[in-house]
Amino acid sequence: MAELSPKQHYLKHLGQLKNERTSFEEHWRELAEFIDPRSTRFLTTERNNGSKRNTRIVDPTASKAARTLQSGMLSGITSPTRPWFKLATPDPEMMQYGPVKRWLDVVMTRMNDVMNRSNVYQSLPIIYRHLGVFGTAAMAVLEDDEDVIRTHPLPIGSYYLSNSHRLSVDTTYRVFSMTARQIVMQFGLDNVSNAVRGAWDNANYEAWFDVVHLTEPNIDRVNGKLNSRNKAFKSVYFELSGDGDKLLREAGFDEPPILSPRWEINGEDVYGSNCPGMMALGTGKALQLEQIRKANAIDKLVNPPMVAPTGLKNKLINLAPGGVTYVDEVDATKLVRPAYAVSPQLNDMLGSIADDRQMIEACFFSDLFNLFSTINTRSMPVEAVAAMQDEKLLQLGPVLERLNDEFLDPFVDRTFNIMARRNLFPEPPEELQGTPLKVEYVSILAQAQKSIGISSVERFVGFVGNLAKANPAALDKLNIDQTIDEYGNMLGVPATIVNSDDEVQATREQRAQMEQQQQMMAMAQQAGATAKTLSDTNTADPSLLKTLSDAAQQPAVTQ
């Protein structure tokens, strides 16, 4: 059997991945029809399709709930208006060292600047919506000459995934369209197919062509070689219908460039097996039917079907407000009237609709994301707020942990590595050389999860304070410095506003020296005052001379 060329190998792998994804597609199409019609692209011909797609949606409650989840996750997890992550070292004691804290703060500030300058915060809401509605999302994080990083959320249906032995996504194939102009600008005229070259030469710049981009572990890499083809992950572009085995580009990445979080997975599944959209789909479909039936009932109530005597056949019947229909007097008892009495139970219908709406919003955690804007923590006891947050966050906790592991951690790592390769960070302190860094999250939701620990610290300190009123020695058991450090870490305060242990020690030594100098000055002033008193004493006083003489004659006291 002839050996497959690289392009043939990739096409065969693409076919296998398509087969693996087939069973999810019908479900995704239905989710799109009833919740998010414009997030899918199963065919490349669907590009720039402006036709109406929401024909199955009468009541947009599910769509609005998905929008609330999207906005809530953005503001609660990765808010562009406040820090949502910080870098730390595995060794807590090293974090107390001033130069380390300051370097990490500078790095975090520069990373935030890069993210704000790029399109990250335009892409993240799309990722969160895909994740909540379809259970799976994918975003490419690529290097950019202008913004350092550039992100591209991938439409549902345009990509295919595969898991590693650790059941984490490490392979992505995506099929998308590019114009002849885009292909030539990105890959160069010498690398394109004859079809693309012909379109370019004929000034048909906006002609569309299907392109495949794949990223997968580079099992053929040669250790020791540092070129782009020997990086940890392979990156290959080729035209789907290009010339023979020709590839547009072969390169590589040091870390996975496409991040694919899943809301929840079952066993070895590659794609998300459960999510709010899947949970709410049945109720959402029922809600559309209820709204249609309610509209029909109201229509029959306002404009009921009518019956009329045969004598009025082919005659003008005016049912408009104020209209007159002429009939013979002998037929006056046979007037136009409703065919039957219409008495729909609208209250029951509205109650059922309200229940379904509430259920859909609960599936999308709308109550949780609205909680942070409705709770007034100043007017509620801390314990009550913590209890409410705990009850809600228990439901979302597993999702946040998976999101950190599959999306936020690799996103922060990739951004850091791209910036480090471009020398955008200052030289780290010697103490950090060879030390791995870890990411800690300080977003609103992350802080809400930690609020239980904060409340525990506050209650413990209050308990010790109450004991100290009866026995001040109780304070000896409390490590105040460490308490301040732990409380600051839980709140996610900037490291620059908390002095390091070395700085605190230096301040205390300086204070002790100043206090010692003040004591010595006070003693010197007291000694000077005593000497002046003696010099002003009248030594001619016989009683004084006798007193001094008696003191001098007293024997010394032995120890």
Range of the domain at 312: 305-341
Q: Does residue 489 register a pLDDT over 50?
A: yes
Residue 322 falls within a domain, yes or no? Answer: yes
Residue 310 falls within a domain, yes or no? Answer: yes
Q: Does residue 541 register a pLDDT over 60?
A: no
Task: Measure the CA–CA gap between 280 and 450, rounded to whole angstroms.
Answer: 29
Task: Measure the CA–CA gap between 124 and 127, rounded to whole angstroms.
Answer: 5
CB atoms within 10 A of CB 162: 17
Task: Measure the CA–CA gap between 369 and 366, rounded to whole angstroms.
Answer: 5
> pLDDT tens, 20-62?
999 999 999 999 999 999 999 998 888 888 888 889 999 999 9
Q: Does residue 542 register a pLDDT over 50?
A: yes
3-state class (DSSP) for residue 214: strand
Residues contacting 169, CB < 8 A, separation 6+: 161, 162, 163, 256, 260, 262, 270, 406
Determine which helix (DSSP H) or strand (DSSP E) holds 469, and give its type and residue range. Answer: helix 444-470
Q: Which of 448 and 262 is assigned the larger pLDDT?
A: 262
Residue 222 falls within a domain, yes or no? Answer: no
Residues contacting 405, CB < 8 A, separation 6+: 168
- The pLDDT of 207-231, averaged and rounded, is 87
> pLDDT tens, 491-534?
666 666 777 777 778 888 888 888 888 888 888 888 777 666 65
- The pLDDT of 273-299, averaged and rounded, is 96
Task: Measure the CA–CA gap between 136 and 260, rounded to whole angstroms.
Answer: 7
| Residue 279: pLDDT band with limits 50, 70, 90 | very high
Position of tokens 């009248």? 538
pLDDT the model gives residue 376? 45
Residues contacting 438, CB < 8 A, separation 6+: 87, 88, 89, 90
- The pLDDT of 222-238, averaged and rounded, is 85
Query: Mean pLDDT over all residues of the chain?
Result: 85
Please report the DSSP string for 286-349 in residue order: HHHHHHHHHHHHHHHHHS--EE--GGGTTS----STT------GGGTTS--EESS-----HHHH
pLDDT the model gives residue 90? 87
Residues contacting 520, CB < 8 A, separation 6+: none
- The pLDDT of 142-167, averaged and rounded, is 96
- The pLDDT of 284-294, averaged and rounded, is 96
Report the share of the chain in percent with pLDDT over 90. 52
Domains identified in the chain, total number: 1
Residue 313 falls within a domain, yes or no? Answer: yes
Range with lowest mean pLDDT among 179-183, 262-266, 416-420, 448-452: 448-452
Q: Per this entry, what is the length of the chain?
A: 559
Residue 171 falls within a domain, yes or no? Answer: no
Task: Measure the CA–CA gap between 100 and 109, rounded to whole angstroms.
Answer: 14
Report the share of the chain in percent with pLDDT over 70. 86
Report residue 126 as tokens.
Answer: 């799309």
Q: Does residue 252 register a pLDDT over 80?
A: yes
Of residues 72, 36, 69, 40, the one with CA closest to residue 54? 36
Instruction: Write the burial class of residue 53 (CB in 10 Å: 0-12 exposed, 13-18 middle, 19+ buried).
Output: middle
pLDDT the model gives residue 554? 55
- End-to-end Cα spacing for the chain: 107
